[in-house]
Amino acid sequence: QEQNSVPSVVNPMIINGCLQTNELEYHILYTPLPESSKFIILFRDPADWLWASWNFWIDKHLDKNPPVDHDWATPGHHYRSPELFHELIASQGAIRTA
């Protein structure tokens, strides 16, 4: 009986993480890739992604500097609420500083 086999891939590169659009553009433009490269890019629902992103990262126009050396929003240091998020979105960029 003949078995179907899947060819093995030597040293596959798997990237799992959050990419900012400017980082993605940089890597596409300046990183040489083999012609056989294939990508699977998954996107979240834009509204869910925006809410999660705002809760995770600091807003350099609105927040004070983080207590440690990273750009993550810190509970108790950076204020986050659904109401503030709604006001920021509804203002269409008019609210820029605290």
Q: How confident is the model at residue 21 (pLDDT cuts 50, 70, 90)?
A: confident
When the pLDDT of each residue in the chain is averaged and rounded to a whole number, the result is 76
Strands (DSSP E) found in 1-98: none
Name 52's Cβ contacts closer than 8 Å, sequence gap at least 6. 44
Q: What is the pLDDT of residue 66?
A: 67
Least confident among 6-15, 22-31, 43-52: 6-15
